[in-house]
Amino acid sequence: MLRGLRESNSEAETEQIASQMAQDLKGGEVIFLEGDLGAGKTAFVRGLARGLGAPDDAVASPTFVIQTTYPCSSGRLLHHADLYRLASELGAEDVGLFDLPGDRDVLAIEWAERMKSYPWRRVTKVEISHGANSDTHRRIQIT
Ligand SMILES: Nc1ncnc2c1ncn2[C@@H]1O[C@H](COP(=O)(O)OP(=O)(O)O)[C@@H](O)[C@H]1O
Ligand SMILES: [Mg+2]
């Protein structure tokens, strides 16, 4: 698995880094995406989708739904959740997120930090922050 600090200078480059990461996903991975609004979390998921052979033009922030599923070319599933609008009285558990992903599937969660607790023992964290070089400079820390 791709780990460490990566630098991106464009949305396309962020998607490329994610797409490269997707090559190493075996199934069962849970990926937490953290970073401000506009950091590039959704762009990163679009790159994951491309790398997994899902139709990446469908990937947008699921603003009005909490979770969307994209079928990948290999029959695997990429689940994409965005917990930004998760109501306090409705937990991620109630949305059914805790039953995901299946053994061959991948679950990517934007605003994962909104969950007070979660059942997964291993998660990959992708933290995206604005860099100082330009408006499109991002630091992507994968741990
Ligand atoms: N290096 C970069 N990586 C990702 N997005 C970038 C980058 N530079 C500029 N952008 C822009 O920032 C925005 C990121 O949006 P989005 O992926 O929806 O963010 P988030 O899901 O974190 O709120 C897009 O408008 C994109 O074009
Ligand atoms: Mg988003």
Tens digit of each residue's pLDDT (9 = 90 or more) over 8-43 = 999 999 999 999 999 999 999 999 999 999 999 999
- Atom 17, ligand 1: residue with shortest CA distance: 40
- Tokens 């007070």 locate to 116
Give the chain's length: 143
Residue 1's pLDDT is 66
More confident residue, 135 or 56: 135
Q: Report yes or no: 69 and 79 within 8 Å, Cβ to Cβ.
A: yes
Cα-Cα-Cα-Cα dihedral sign, residues 73, 83, 102, 16: positive
Which domains are seen in the chain, by residue range? Answer: 4-142 (3.40.50.300)
What three-state secondary structure class fits 31? strand
101 Cα: distance to centroid of ligand 1 (angstroms): 25
Contact 67, 81 (CB under 8 A): yes
Q: Is residue 101's pLDDT more than 90? A: yes
Q: Is 54 exposed, middle or buried (0-12, 13-18, 19+ CB in 10 A)?
A: buried
Under 8 Å between Cβ of 106 and 45: no
Span 50-91, pLDDT tens digits:
999 998 777 776 666 688 999 998 899 999 999 887 766 667
Contact of 108 with 47, CB cutoff 8 Å? no
| Distance from residue 26's CA to the centre of ligand 1 (Å) | 26
Q: Is 98:116 a contact under the CB 8 Å cutoff?
A: no
Residue whose CB lies within 8 A of the most ligand 1 atoms, among 11, 14, 109, 114, for a mutation test: 11
Atom of ligand 1 nearest to the CA of 36: 22
Pick the residue whose CA is nearest to atom 12 on ligand 1: 38
- Total Cβ atoms within 10 A of residue 43: 22
Q: Say how far apart CA 63 and CA 73 lie, in whole Å.
A: 25
Tell me what pLDDT residue 53 has: 94
Q: Is 93 exposed, middle or buried (0-12, 13-18, 19+ CB in 10 A)?
A: middle
